[in-house]
Each structure stands twice: as structure tokens, then as C-alpha cells.
Amino acid sequence: MGNAQATPPSSSSSRLVMASRAFSKQELDGFRALFASLSAQSQGGGGGGGCAISRPVFLEYFGIRGALGGRLFQLVARESGGDEGVTLEDMIVSKATYERGTRDEVDEFIYQLCDVTGDDVLQRSDLESILASIRETIFKENNEAGEGSNNRTFEAFINSAIFSKDAGGAARKSMLLSDFRSWCILIPSLRKFLGSLLMPPDSGRPGFQVPVLHYPENISSDLLLLNKEYAWHIGGGFSQQEVQEWKLLYHSSLHGQSFNTFLGNVTNGDAQTVIIVKDTEGFVFGGYASQPWERHSDFYGDMKTFLFNLYPQASIFRPTGVNKNLQWCAVNFTSDTIPNGIGFGGQPHHFGFFLSANFDQGHSFTCTTFTSPALSKTNRFRPEVIECWGIQMRGALDEKTEPVKGTVLERYKEDRNMLKLVGLANASD
């Protein structure tokens, strides 16, 4: 026995040892308990557990539908070859790479995940399959927007993607890893979703939350610019995960195209708002304001503010920090240097996004504040529909949203703060 030589560890067991170091003992115990439960189900519910988790049980537990679910199973099971299913080693090694790896390791895993065909070429058809899986996984119960609208929404997500590599001589281009990273920056909800697929389904996985939209009963969802898919996209730009309920504060078709009514509605609502515009060219875009809309003679706001496109491309543009020109709200100023209206980024008369005080025109220019392009087809645009949504914490809403009635003066004649905001009181201010 003294002359017996120790068996060198296999590369497989070495990977398991290294991967295990990424987790605490409590976490590893949790993995073992989960594996025991799922592998037992895979063997027909026997009490002793099995040696692997079958594909059906794996997909049912993590709840990822469509081609993305199959690709996730394939990648997780590859440590053991996948013939028998997902082993405990597969699970620990994959989670170590996917959840605790370096940024490059995680990005590479997600990049491979999106290659649903496994041919090492990430093309538009792969992205279509990924978005179809997202739709089936988190929007399968959302029938409000209709089939055609959903297709249009997801088409906008793909339209923001870059394909800069020749796909093996094929006419269609493919995505480099750098292209994919750029796409994830523009659609942060996508990155959050793809980065949390192996988290326990009951843990409130990032990217799986869909905002609840509240609006008056007398307005049809067909008239709304915002659907749940767009809200999911915009919500990806928020730092907090608990923000889930959005309340329609203003809609030009319901309340009239009035700046004063808009201000009356939003100043009586929540500090955080999302403004969306559809222009006469069919482009849909807007901005998220993290601070209340208040009368100022200069820019204000904080670095949570961002701009976004919804159609024909879907993108989010965050502040770069190059300046603090974030929000703009000017009312009843007579100076030519202070344009009346609301805006985001850029400079006066040259905003990243601006709506005039008459709500009949606006402009959008390339903007260093957010590194955003012109959001509209041309720099000058005419709004066809204007919406504003208040962002509220879950449970903070009234059960019903009543339609707004009356003029600003009728509804707020006792509210001196409101009158000051629209310039009808304390005019010397």
C-alpha cells in the first residue's frame, strides 16, 4: 500500500473543485438539495434521487420556453456530454462561469447561449429565436397588444442590432461578440434576462419582471403607444427592481394636446415619469425623467434620466456624464435663450429631445449628454400622439384611474404650487 501512487485528478473533477470555490458552503448545499429533487423527478419521482436532471424536468423547473430553453440545457449539460442529462457537476461548473465568472466569461457564455443553432454563427435568425423564446416565456399571458403589434415590437429590438461579420461567405451578416455587447447595452432588459436564466424561478429573476400598466377604462389599449413589451424594454434602464406599476397620467387623445393639462396631471402624480411620442413619420421615442417636472430656467435632474427609441428601432441611451444637461422644464419665460417646453439633454434650441410648450412641434438632435442619435426621422418633428406614464411602487396605486376632467384652473384653483408652475401666480418669480 505504501508504494501505491495517488490517482491524478481528472480535468473534470479539477473544474468542479475550482468552480465550487465560487460559492459558499450554504450555496453548495442548496445546489445539492435542488439537484437531488430535480434528478429524483427525472427518474420518475423515486425517493433516492438520480444521477442527472432530464431535459423535460430541467426546462420545466427553469421555465425557459422555445429554442432558448433547449440551448440553455445543451450548454449546461456539456461538461458531462449531456447524454444522461445535467449532472451536479454540470450545474455547479455552469453556474460558476455564468453567474460568478469574469465579465468576459459571462458575456461569452451568453453569446454562445444566443447561438441557438450551435453553429458558431450568430445571425438574425438566432436573435429571432431568442426573442420568440422571451415572448413565450414572459409575455405568453399578455394578449392586450395583439399578434401584429407584438411582432412589430420585437422587430424593433432586432433592428437595433449590428451584424458586422461575413457569415462564412453567406449574403447575410453575423454578430461578433463586440456587436452583441453593444446590442445588450442598447437593450439592457435583454442582458438582464439572459444573465439570470439559472437563478431559482421564485427569486424574482432580473429581466423577467413586466410592469403592470394602469390606464382609464375609457381608453382602448389600441390607442396606447406603450405596450408591455415596450415597458419591459424601458424598465431595463431602471436601477431598481421593485418598480413594477405604471399609471397613465396624460394622453393627448384623452386629455387634449395641452401643455398646461399635461403639467397639471404629472405634477399631481409621481416624481418618476416616462414620456413617449409618436411623430407624424411613425417614429416612437421618448425619455425617462427621474425628477418631477418643475419650472426652471436651466437644466436640472440626475444621472438616472435616459432617452430611448421604441420604433423602428428599440434602444436606451444613458447619460455619459459629459455634462449635467438632463431635464428641462421652462414655462412662460419671455427670453429667447430659454425655450418654453420640456426636454432632455443637449443645449437650449438643440436638445436631445424637446417638446415645445404648444405641444405642436419638437426636435431631436445628436446629443453628447446621452450619446444618442436623433430619435426622430428628421431633426424637426410634429407629434401625433403624446403619452406620459407615472412610475409607482407595487401596491401604491389606486384601484382605478379616473379620466381627467376640467381645465387646470378649475381643477387646481386652490393649488398655488401648480399655478406658480404654469406661470399664473407669483408672476414676478
DSSP string covering 317-329: E---SS----EEE
Give the separation between CA 132 and CA 93, rounded to whole angstroms: 28
Q: At what angle do helices 103-114 and 124-138 cross, to 10 degrees?
A: 90
Task: Please state, in angstroms and rounded to a whole number, the distance separating the CA atoms of residues 209 and 299.
Answer: 32
pLDDT tens digits in sequence order for the chain, 429 residues long = 445 444 444 556 788 899 999 999 999 999 999 999 999 999 865 444 568 999 999 999 999 999 999 999 999 998 667 667 999 999 999 999 999 999 999 999 999 999 999 999 999 999 999 999 999 999 875 444 444 446 788 999 999 999 988 765 555 789 999 999 999 999 999 999 999 999 999 878 999 989 999 998 888 888 999 999 999 999 999 876 666 789 999 999 888 888 889 998 887 656 799 999 999 999 999 999 999 999 999 999 999 999 999 999 999 999 999 999 999 999 999 999 999 999 999 999 999 999 999 999 999 999 999 999 999 999 999 999 999 999 976 544 444 444 433 333 333 333 334 334 444 343 333
pLDDT at 258: 86
Q: Rounded CA gap, 339 and 302, in Å?
A: 21
Considering the entire predicted model, what is its pTM? 0.84
392-407 as b/e: b if 16+ CB within 10 A: beeeebeeebeebeee
Helix (H) or strand (E) holding 59: helix 55-62
Nearest Cα neighbor of 342 from 333, 332, 353 is 353
Cβ atoms < 10 Å from Cβ of 248:
22
**Per-residue pLDDT reduced to its tens digit, 170-185:** 557 899 999 999 999 9
pLDDT of residue 12: 61
Strand order in the sheet with 380-381: 327-330, 341-347, 350-356, 362-363, 380-381
- Residue 423 near residue 269, CB atoms below 8 Å: no
Residue 315 DSSP class: E
- DSSP secondary structure string for all residues of 110-145: HHHHH-TT-SS---HHHHHHHHHHHHHHHSTT--SS
Residues of the chain within CATH 1.10.238.10 domain(s) are: 15-202
- Note the CATH architecture for domain 15-202: Orthogonal Bundle (1.10)
